[in-house]
Each structure stands twice: as C-alpha cells, then as structure tokens.
Amino acid sequence: MYFTVRKKRLFENMSRFKQLQEFQKEFSKLVRKYPSLPEDLKKLERLITLHPVGFGTNFATMHQTPEVKIIKARLACKSLRNRSVRVIYAYHEETITFVHIEIYFKGNKENEDRGRVERYLEGLE
C-alpha cells in the first residue's frame, strides 16, 4: 500500500497542466453558463494524470507521434445533468505535460476546431 501511494504522489508532482489562451476564453464563457465546470475539469485532470491517453469510449486519439498525443475527451458536466462537454488536450510524454487546447459544449458546436489543433502542432516544430 505504501509503495503505490508514494508512487502516485510522485507522478502527480511531475505532471503539469497548461492551457492555450483560446481555451481560457472558451472556458470562462462556459463557466458562466455551467458553474460546475471547474470541478468537473479537475476530475478529468485527476483521471488523465493516472491514465494520460484515457481509456474506454470517452477518449479518442486524434493525432499521435512519439513526442505528443492529441486526445479528445468527453467530460460529464454536472450543470448539464451529465451531458458531455468535449475537451481537446495534448499529452507530451517526455515532459509529462498536458496542454488544454479546446473546450466546447456539443450542443453549441458540432465538431472541434481542427485548424487550432494543426496550429498547435505546427508551433511545436
């Protein structure tokens, strides 16, 4: 028991979460409508700290290279009665860094902004 708890704490300290400026703007707009969103996002962050690319049908890999993986995740929002908000994030395996790229409510926007994901990947090169 001690070993697993200690290992989890070390991993949590190494992981970092960042947000693109566009994500921050979208997030602040959505928080006004859906007040539980910050708490819901923290739950997602705890989950992806343990399982960086997620698992099950709520996670889909959009792009994958040895350096970075772009993941689209469904986030159950309490304010929406557990209807889904989509979160697009990048996972940098070497640095164990997560970058939130986009967040949107599926009822307002049909698909993610592929152009933003492409610009993010171009900025890495």
Q: Which domains does the chain have, with CATH numbers?
A: 2-124 (3.30.2310.20)
pLDDT band (50, 70, 90) for residue 15: low
* Percent of the chain surpassing pLDDT 90: 58
Q: Which residues contact 91 (CB under 8 A, 6 or more apart)?
A: 48, 52, 53, 68, 69, 70, 71, 97, 98
pTM of this structure: 0.83
Tens of pLDDT along 64-94?
999 999 999 999 889 888 778 999 999 998 8
Q: What share of the chain in percent tops pLDDT 70?
A: 88
Choice among 6-10, 21-25, 35-39, 89-93 with the minimum mean pLDDT: 6-10
Contact 99, 115 (CB under 8 A): no
Is residue 1 predicted with pLDDT exceeding 50? no
Which one has a higher pLDDT value, 111 or 71? Answer: 71
